[in-house]
Amino acid sequence: MYASCLCGQVKLVIKTAFISSSICHCQQCQKSHGAASAAYGVALKSEVEWLSGKKRVRKFASSERVRRGFCKDCGTNIYFYHKDHPNHLDIPLAILDTKPNLTPQCHIFVDSKVGWDPILDDLPQHAQSC
Ligand SMILES: [Zn+2]
Ligand SMILES: [Zn+2]
């Protein structure tokens, strides 16, 4: 699967299928994405290949164990990384240029879901993480 940022300078390929996929409703994803929620695919870090622009990716420590990578020029969120899962890189599905092999399987952190964007699917909902 191919992914890129809004300005097109950061490009990457995820060489193998996502392990899992979820929609996160935590407040940090809300603020970081400027959206009610953010859908991610969990990739093996070793299977993510940077095609261009890796040096344009800045890291933000949104909490002690979390790093969020974003394009320094256009602000697009490129990845979510948690130190508890050092082999994983969570890629926002919305930056993919090709179809994901998986669509989201569940909602997480629905405890902090916004009130103005109801969940209209039948996927399992978890108060915190899965
Ligand atoms: Zn960019
Ligand atoms: Zn989140």
How far apart CA 51 and CA 110 sit, in angstroms, is: 34
* Burial call 84-107: b when 16+ CB within 10 Å, e when fewer: eeeebbbbbbebbeeebeeebebb
Distance 78 CA to ligand 1 centre (A): 9
Distance 120 CA to ligand 1 centre (A): 31
Domains, in order of start, for the chain: 2-21+38-105 (2.170.150.70)
Contacts 24+ apart (CB under 8 A), 29-33: 29/80, 29/109, 30/112, 30/114, 32/60, 32/62, 32/68, 32/70, 32/77, 33/77, 33/92
How far apart CA 41 and CA 14 sit, in angstroms, is: 10
pLDDT at position 129: 84
Give the closest ligand to the alpha carbon of residue 58: 1
pLDDT at position 52: 98
| Length of the chain counted residue by residue | 130
Give the closest ligand to the alpha carbon of residue 109: 2
Give the closest ligand to the alpha carbon of residue 111: 2
pLDDT at position 130: 75
Residues 6+ apart with CB under 8 A from 90: 40, 41, 42, 43, 79, 80, 81, 82
How far apart CA 4 and CA 10 sit, in angstroms, is: 5
Distance 114 CA to ligand 2 centre (A): 13
Q: How many CB atoms sit inside 10 A of residue 121's CB?
A: 9
Give the closest ligand to the alpha carbon of residue 29: 2
3-27 pLDDT tens trace = 999 999 999 999 999 999 999 999 9
Distance 53 CA to ligand 2 centre (A): 24
For the chain, what is the mean pLDDT? Answer: 97
What is the percentage of the chain residues whose pLDDT exceeds 70? 100
Give the closest ligand to the alpha carbon of residue 23: 2
38-56 pLDDT tens trace = 999 999 999 999 999 999 9
Distance 96 CA to ligand 1 centre (A): 13
